[in-house]
Amino acid sequence: MTSYLAAVFPRPNSPIEFRDFSEPDLEPGSALLHTAFSEVCGTDVHLYHGRLTGVPYPIIPGHVSIGVIAKMRGALKTVNGDALKEGDLVTFLDVHETCGACYHCLVVDQPNRCPSRKVYGITYSANDGLLGGWSQAIYMKPGVKMIHIPKELSPQTFIGGGCGLVTALHAVDMSKIRLGESVAVMGAGPVGQSVVALASLSGAGDIAVFDRVADRLDFARDMGATDTIDISMPRQLRLDAARSLTRGRGFDIVIEASGHPDAVSEALDIVRDGGQVVVCGHYTDNGSVEIHPHWQINRKHVELRGCWGSRYEHFHRAVEIAARFGDTKPWSAMAGQSYALSDVGSALEAVANRSLVKAVVRVQ
């Protein structure tokens, strides 16, 4: 009987284990991928430390992945109507089981908040099978939405953008950037880098990025940033710098992708009157911050929004964008280094200590 090796977080703050899983029986409408690439991002570091709620340990981490269809049962198609066949190189939306029947799904059109929603590599247990990407194979449950990696898209480009690209697309959509508008991006991690790339593709004017890591700020310029601000300078100096970039008005749009509570308050300080702030960096609970409702929100007439997860449309368009603009936006270089599955612990360590923006697990 065929078996597959997978990396497992047995419980929070415990060493990674490698376990053998037997090949699953395929239900009608399901498929089995032989994994090609998966990614290691900040969420995996949070999962390792037990900082997300509702995670059914043990889990096989790895949410955004690419693989080759090894087996399938029944006729499956992509949303484009293309038939899926054995041997095809595909990726899939990690979000699954959004019910389409609850209040969030049906009445208020917010499937991101559907209570039935599950995510590969995060909210599926390893006890339920090969449902994470740090594995030689991934089981595509019936209804999982797969899409081909187009010929013109290198898998390294898509996995380099990975979940950060999908999240960034959702946040940039929410901000409704108009041609020529100024954008500030708080945080130059994987989400922030993709926000910069997408803001520039959306026709933003000045794009200023805030971070303390010089390499990340340099890379943001390759993604399309016009200005960078080192946040290790005193707060007042960086607020002055932000004001001088915008003739004292503040930025039309600020997207917070850093995960630091202070950055949310600072975003409200540097946005212009009547501007927009989108918060997408606080995927885990990083604490609270004092906000002054009069000066920072009410009087400024600011629009403040939170952005949680992503929907199929963001994933689908992320594939299209990576295929179309992968030559001009260096997503492939963002995944600094690829690691063998057996060395995924080193990849996790590199992301945790921020020596890499993100890491890629090369499985086959």
Q: Which of 245, 286, 288, 242 is nearest to 265 (CA)?
A: 288
Residue nearer to Zn ion on the CB measure, 216 or 238: 216
Q: How far is the CB of 255 from Zn ion (least distance, A)?
A: 17
In whole angstroms, the minimum distance from the beta carbon of 315 to Zn ion comes to 12
Q: Are strands 76-77 and 83-84 parallel, antiparallel or unpaired?
A: antiparallel
Residue numbers 133-172 binding Zn ion by CB under 5 A: 163
Select from 43, 91, 157, 296 the one that contacts Zn ion (CB under 5 A). Answer: 43
Angle between helices 312-325 and 190-201 (to 10 degrees): 70
CB 98 to Zn ion: min, Å: 6
CB contact at 8 A, 217 and 230: yes
Shortest CB 165 distance to Zn ion, Å: 10
Give the footprint of Zn ion on residues 81-120 (CB under 5 A): 99, 102, 105, 114
At 212, phi and psi to the nearest 5? -110, -5
Residue ranges in 217-236 that form contacts with Zn ion under rule CB under 5 A = none
Residue 207 CB coordination number (10 Å): 27
Can you tell me which of 41, 146, 197, 263 binds Zn ion, judged by CB under 5 A?
41
Interface with Zn ion: number of residues (CB under 5 A): 7
Report the residue number, 59 or 105, with the smaller CB distance to Zn ion.
105
Residue owning tokens 């939170």: 306
- Kind plus residue range of the DSSP H or E element containing 215: helix 214-223
Nearer to Zn ion, 238 or 314 (CB): 314
Residue whose CB is less far from Zn ion, 39 or 266: 39
Nearer to Zn ion, 99 or 291 (CB): 99
**Residue 293 C-beta: closest distance to Zn ion, Å:** 32
Run of H or E including 159: helix 155-175
Distance CA 88, CA 75 (A): 14
By beta-carbon proximity to Zn ion, the closer residue of 119 and 302 is: 119
Cα separation, 12 vs 1, in Å, equals: 31
Q: 308 near 113, Cβ under 8 Å?
A: yes
Structure tokens at 231: 């946040």
Minimum CB–partner distance for residue 49 and Zn ion (Å) = 15
Residues forming contacts to Zn ion in the complex (CB under 5 A) are: 41, 43, 99, 102, 105, 114, 163
